Structure formats: C-alpha cells, structure tokens
Chain A
Amino acid sequence: MAIPFKGTKEQEAKLMEVIAAHKDEKGATIPVLHEAQEIYGYLPIEVQTMIAEGLDVPLAEIYGIVTFYTQFSLNPKGQYPIGVCLGTACYVKGSGDILEKIKEILGIDVGECTDDGKFSLDATRCIGACGLAPVMTIGEHVYGRLTVDEVEDILKKY
C-alpha cells in the first residue's frame, strides 16, 4: 500500500483512449479494468479513480468489482515476483508453511508487494513441477524440494 504510484503520462494517455473507446457502452467497466491492468500491471486508487471519473461509475462500485474478481490486483508486481505453489502435491509436502515463512520474513500478505517494490507474493495453483514439491518460483527461477529453513537464504540472494 505504501508504494507510491508511478504512472506515466503515456500510460495515462493510453487509459484515456481505452475509456473513450468504451464510454457509453453498457457493461464497459470490466473490459476497461482489464485493459487498465494491462497498462499499469495493477489497479491502484489513482487508476480506479480515473476510470470512475471517465466512465461516470461510482468508485465504490469499481472497487467492489476489482475486489470481487481474483484476476484484478490492487498491488503492483515486485521486481521479483514470488509464487508459492499451493497445489495438492506441494501443499501435502508443506508449502503452506513455506508461504507463512515468506510472509513473516517480508512482512506482506499474499497479493501484496514489499514497500521497496522488490518482492511481491502470490499463492499459485499447480505449476506442473509436482516431482519437485514443494515448489516456489521467483521470477523465472524455480526452487524445488524446499524446506522452511532454506527460504531466508534464498531471499537474501536477491
């Protein structure tokens, strides 16, 4: 939440185009939110306010939609997005504890981003690496057969 909004003029111009294209269209909110998330990567208050003003839809309604659908995110992705697999195989092997450990170390919840913008945290479904369970990804990198004790050292490398 504490990450300042860094939207650019170009992004704003793009969003305004999207809004103009959908204005007066019934049910425009969800498509516009999708495109806005494409542009900005997430949907902070600044972006939602522009959409509310642009489409003349109450901000509370927009926020209701954004929080209803899991594909919308209120927080930016970190420089290193972390994904902890909570698929069955990983979960059985203790990925839940790994997730808790990461939350504790970084002081953020699932769906959030650290204040310095470095890490963001997501819980994912099976990523098809069950043989390596429990599995975590940081960016493109996959860490398998993890133990809770290894987590801290891995994060330190970033």
Chain B
Amino acid sequence: MSENVNIKINGAAMSVPADYTILEAAREAGIDIPTLCYLKDVSKTGSCRMCIVEVKGARALQAACVYPVSEGLEVMTNTPKVREQRKLTLELLLSNHDRKCLSCIRSKSCELQDLADELGVEGISFEGEMTEHDIDNVSPSIVRDNKKCILCRRCVNMCKDVQTVAVIDTMERGFKTRVSTAFEKPLSDTACVNCGQCIVSCPTGALYEKDNTKEVWDAIADPEKYVIVQTAPAVRAGLGEEFGYPMGTPVTGKMAAALRRLGFDKTFDTDTGADLTIMEEANELIERVQNGGKLPMITSCSPGWVKFCEHYFTDFLDNLSSCKSPHQMFGAVMKSYYAEKNGIDPKNMFVVSVMPCVAKKFESGRPEMEADKLRDVDAVISTRELARMIKQAGIMFDKLPDEEFDVPFERASGAGVIFGATGGVMEAALRTAADTLGGKSVEDIDYTEVRGIEGIKEATVNMGGMDVKVAVANGLGNARKLLESIRDGKADYHFVEIMACPGGCVNGGGQPIVPSRDKMDVDVRVQRAKALYSEDVNSKIRKSHENPDMEILYSEYFEKPGSHKAHELLHTTYIKRNKY
C-alpha cells in the first residue's frame, strides 16, 4: 500500500497514490495525454516526448510517462506551448517516415496516424533525408520494415525484458539508428521464437505478420481443392474487436457463418483437436508417472515456447510432451481418418488453420509436421488476416446470423475452449486425468488455482489418492524463471503448462492489435479470457474425454490413446537449436 499525495492537474485538485506517474494520474482523472514510446508493463523509455506537459516550477516541458507525482505537484496538460511542442515533435518524426498510409497494413490501427490526426498535423514542413532500409521478410512468421519504424523500442523491450529472447535491439546511433538483429541477420537466422509479441507491441506498420491470405484465396478458388478451415479457441475471443465489438465478446457463431460465406468447404473447430490433445497428453502423463518417465512433463502446444526450449533450454527437451499441438493433430486427422471416411483424396485437401498466433506459421512448416508426405496443415492465417479476408469479401460481420460448426466435430468440449487462456490446457488435462486416475466422474471441475494472469501459478491436486503437483507459466520470461527453479532443484512438479504469450493465446501475436492507450484502461488478457470461460460454463460437455467424437475417433481409427497409429499421426519430435 502506498500513500496518497495531493496534486493538481489543469487546476483540478486530486489525491493519487504516491507511486503514480503524471500520465497515470491524468488518465485516472479522465485526461488523455498522447503517448508513443510508453507501453504499460513493457516499455518506459521516456524517449519520444509526445507526452510532454508543463510542470509548475520546472523550466523545461516534462515527459508525463516517466515523471513521478509528488505532494503539491501542479501540472498543465493542454497549454498552447504543450500543444505546439507535441505537434513539432511529431512533425519531425514524420519527416523521416515512409508516409504511405494507403498501402500500409496498419492504416486505421496505427498510433502514429492517430496522433497526426489528433494533434492536427497538416503539412510536414521539413522534408528530411530518408533513412534507407531493406524489408526483412525471410521469416515464415514476421516481417520487419524499418522504413515505418519510429524507434520507440517497444518491440525491443518486449522481446528482451518480457520474453527474454532478446534477438532485436537498437543499433548504431544518430541518423543511422535502427532496430535490428546482431550482424543484421534476417530474424529467421536468429533464435527468434516467432511469438509475435513484438508485432502487437508496435505502434506502427514496422512489424507485421507474414501474410498467407493469398494462398487461402487461391485454394478456395481452385475447384479441385477440398478446403477445410479450423479455428483455434482464442480466435473467437478476439475477432469481434476487428468489427467493433467490445473486447471479450465471444463471436463463435458469426465467425462460423463468415467462414462458410468465404467459401470453405468445411468449417471445423480446433477445439476438437484440443480434446484429442488432452486424450493423448493425459495418457502420456499417466504413463510417465506410472512408468518412471521424465518429469515434469511440459505442454507442447505453444510453438513459440517449443522453439524457446529448443534454443535456450535444451536440457528440457525430453520433458516436452511428444503431443503435436491441437491444430496439427486436427490437420493430421483430416488428411487420414476424415479423408478415408469421406472418400476424399487427401492430396487435394487443403487445411487452413486460423490462429491467434504467428508462431503457428513456423510450426506448420516444420519438417516434422507431416505424415505419409502429406502436410498436416497447408496454411496458417492469424485472427487479423481472417478479419481482412472477411472485409475483402464484403461480408458484413455484424449482420451475420449465428451458425454452428460443421458436422461431425461440432461438439467440442468446454475443456477444449479454455485452451486459449493461460492455465486452460492444465485445467483441461486435470479434468480428464482426475476422472481417469480416480476411476469415476469428478463433479467439481473448476480448477481456479490455475486460472488468471499471474506469471507463475502452482497447485497440488489430489487425484485417486495421489497428490499431483502442477505449475503454469505464461510469457517466456516467466517460463525462464520457472525452468530455472526446476533446474536448480528448488521446485518439482509432475506437470507444467507453458505458453509463450503473456496471458496465453488470447493475447497471442496474431490477435487484433490494441492501442497502447487502451491498454492503460483494460487488461486484454483478462477481458478476452472471460469470453472463453463463459463459453466453457455454458458447454453441455466440459471434459475432453466426454466429447462423443473422441469415442468415435478412437473406436473407428486410433484404437486407444498412445497407440501406434496415434504416434504416427499425433505425436512429434524436437531438435536442439543454437542460441547464436
């Protein structure tokens, strides 16, 4: 508990906690101060000077995002001098900016563009020399275009301090300053894990996902192709934001309707894949526990986390569950079981995954992700790319009816839905493991200890007489901490869930981008997770093993979890990668 201090902003007196900055105090008082380099919980460099204010008694204008409040402080946020200076700063920034908004991916969701509008920039009076930069688009997940970069460092701080991957940084100085990798290598030649958190931190069009919508449009237009789409749980929790719905509105029904209208032959739910993952993973866990296998077992459904492990924690590779991630499993089921059953030549099948994640683009291209020379998944598009396709197709999203996913596989469980939030995979696995180990159906299935956005969560759950110790980490900085404590023998668990993105997939690198100023008011991770937990509560089936399609899949095809066939199609292997 910190004490309060009395301050005045624009003449109005208020009492605020002593550890606030002027920016935080003003925001609470309903006063909006423009910012650019500040990103709550991530970046506080005080370098862009967009947030300058007049502080009584101080000679120069001060940056509100870093200036602490103190007793008696008097601040003016909206004087002619402040407005002039902010405008000048922005115009200077824009004079070395590739101002091609019409063809820029971030147009309409760009913080720089918003500021130019708000501050009334009319013409750029100085036409500066433009810095030359090449676009790095070698990575299957991420594109970097430094011509749009304003050097705010939000991406650098995200990658370095939050994710502890640290493959991008600021290089050189003065006019030549740029964000880049060591020795200017393409991102794909570094230990970048493709989490895309840099993208969702960036205020401009300098970082964006590799666009795969063209391949999808081409497949849909090709009469030879049988095009199947599947959507991950977190997509329904974020997609609505692209169409003006309040954050946290689940839009499952409209999303299914939109996909159908885009022309996909079948519209399925990755949650079925998630249920299948739980069947395999719970079985793997029980086997490891009973046969003295390597523990803790760690989840493998977050490809950003998997690559992080392959670069930085190679001593934990055997701890990773051998299960493929849900959409890869589902793709493999499509090209085997589903193709056979429906007499479709799997070579003509084209499986599209809509994901909240850009690391899934890398994952689907991994050489391991195929069986019988058939790729599990042919294209991955992010939530943002799906929104673009819907807009391009002239579909008025809000006017769509609510529709169901296609039959079969329309009956995924609530356990599959919560996969999209941190702790969700753990909870889903516990629901199934508890029934299996206890030999009876457990009633109380809300494992609230593993829910919520805390970086590292722990719980001990008694199942069939055995105390199962579990831990959940979200965000790679937290994963690093957790793994180090396991490595040092300070903690021991049976089962660990790790998701690369803070808050889990709902806050993935492929989700709609939320302006930094909105992030001061709402917690994206909490709001979007609510959409998933509400869908879970309303599900008729809330345990993966009670999804009737699992019964069908195993009796007709896979026989039992961990079978030979399951291993061929649903499991994978990992490799050691270099750090540098």
A residues near B579, Cβ cutoff 8 Å: 53
Question: Nearest chain B CB to A116's CB is how many angstroms away?
Answer: 22
B residues near A52, Cβ cutoff 8 Å: 580
A48 contacts the other chain (CB 8 A) = yes
Could you list which residues of chain A lie within 8 angstroms of chain B, going by C-beta atoms?
Answer: 45, 48-49, 52-53, 58-64, 67-68
SS class of chain B's interface: helix, strand, loop or mixed?
Answer: loop
Q: Are B173 and A60 neighbours in the complex by a CB distance under 8 Å?
A: no
Q: Are B169 and A61 neighbours in the complex by a CB distance under 8 Å?
A: yes
Question: Nearest chain B CB to A76's CB is how many angstroms away?
Answer: 15
Beyond A63-B169, A63-B183, A64-B171, 18 additional contacts (C-beta under 8 Å) are: A45-B182, A45-B183, A49-B580, A53-B579, A53-B580, A58-B167, A58-B169, A60-B166, A60-B167, A60-B182, A61-B160, A61-B169, A63-B181, A63-B182, A64-B169, A64-B170, A68-B172, A68-B173
Contact with A along B296-313 (1 / 0, CB 8 A): 000000000000000000
Q: Are B172 and A61 neighbours in the complex by a CB distance under 8 Å?
A: no
Q: Number of contacting residues on B, CB 8 A?
A: 16
- Do A59 and B580 form a contact, CB below 8 Å, given A45-B183, A48-B182? yes
The distance in angstroms between the C-alpha atoms of A67 and B160, with both chains bound, is 18
Within 8 A of A (CB), among B166-217: 166-173, 180-183, 190
The distance in angstroms between the C-alpha atoms of A63 and B169, with both chains bound, is 9
B residues near A62, Cβ cutoff 8 Å: 182
Q: Which residue of A52, A58, A63, A68 has the most chain B CB atoms within 10 A of its CB atom?
A: A58
B residues near A59, Cβ cutoff 8 Å: 182, 580
Selected from A48, A53, A61, A68, the residue in CB contact (under 8 A) with B166 is A61
Q: Are A60 and B172 neighbours in the complex by a CB distance under 8 Å?
A: no
A residues near B166, Cβ cutoff 8 Å: 58, 60-61
B residues near A58, Cβ cutoff 8 Å: 160, 166-167, 169
Q: Are B580 and A63 neighbours in the complex by a CB distance under 8 Å?
A: no
Question: Nearest chain B CB to A82's CB is how many angstroms away?
Answer: 23
A residues near B182, Cβ cutoff 8 Å: 45, 48, 59-60, 62-63
Q: Are A67 and B172 neighbours in the complex by a CB distance under 8 Å?
A: yes
Interface pairs (29), CB distance under 8 Å: A45-B183, A48-B182, A53-B579, A53-B580, A58-B160, A58-B167, A58-B169, A59-B182, A59-B580, A60-B166, A60-B167, A60-B169, A60-B180, A60-B181, A60-B182, A61-B166, A61-B169, A62-B182, A63-B171, A63-B182, A63-B183, A64-B170, A64-B171, A67-B171, A67-B172, A67-B173, A68-B171, A68-B172, A68-B173
Question: Nearest chain A CB to B93's CB is how many angstroms away?
Answer: 21
Q: Which residue of B lies closest to A61 (CB)?
A: B169
A residues near B168, Cβ cutoff 8 Å: 60
Closest 8 CB pairs of A and B: A58-B166, A63-B182, A60-B169, A64-B169, A59-B182, A60-B182, A67-B172, A67-B171
Question: Nearest chain B CB to A54's CB is how many angstroms away?
Answer: 12
Q: Which residue of B166, B168, B183, B190 has the most chain A CB atoms within 10 A of its CB atom?
A: B183
Q: Which residue of A lies closest to B578 (CB)?
A: A49
Question: Nearest chain A CB to B187's CB is how many angstroms away?
Answer: 11
The distance in angstroms between the C-alpha atoms of A52 and B169, with both chains bound, is 14
Contact with A along B102-116 (1 / 0, CB 8 A): 000000000000000
The distance in angstroms between the C-alpha atoms of A68 and B172, with both chains bound, is 4
A residues near B183, Cβ cutoff 8 Å: 45, 63
Question: Nearest chain A CB to B533's CB is how many angstroms away?
Answer: 37
The distance in angstroms between the C-alpha atoms of A72 and B373, with both chains bound, is 50
The distance in angstroms between the C-alpha atoms of A35 and B562, with both chains bound, is 56
A residues near B580, Cβ cutoff 8 Å: 49, 52-53, 59
B residues near A53, Cβ cutoff 8 Å: 579-580
Question: Nearest chain A CB to B495's CB is how many angstroms away?
Answer: 29
Q: Which residue of A lies closest to B168 (CB)?
A: A60
The distance in angstroms between the C-alpha atoms of A61 and B171, with both chains bound, is 8
Q: Which residue of A45, A49, A62, A64 has the most chain B CB atoms within 10 A of its CB atom?
A: A64
Q: Which residue of A52, A60, A68 has the most chain B CB atoms within 10 A of its CB atom?
A: A60
Q: Which residue of A lies closest to B183 (CB)?
A: A45
Q: Which residue of B lies closest to A70 (CB)?
A: B173
Question: Nearest chain A CB to B404's CB is how many angstroms away?
Answer: 47
B residues near A63, Cβ cutoff 8 Å: 169, 171, 181-183
The distance in angstroms between the C-alpha atoms of A53 and B580, with both chains bound, is 9
A residues near B167, Cβ cutoff 8 Å: 58, 60
B residues near A68, Cβ cutoff 8 Å: 171-173
The distance in angstroms between the C-alpha atoms of A63 and B166, with both chains bound, is 12
Question: Nearest chain A CB to B262's CB is how many angstroms away?
Answer: 40
The distance in angstroms between the C-alpha atoms of A64 and B166, with both chains bound, is 12
The distance in angstroms between the C-alpha atoms of A150 and B91, with both chains bound, is 47
The distance in angstroms between the C-alpha atoms of A76 and B170, with both chains bound, is 23
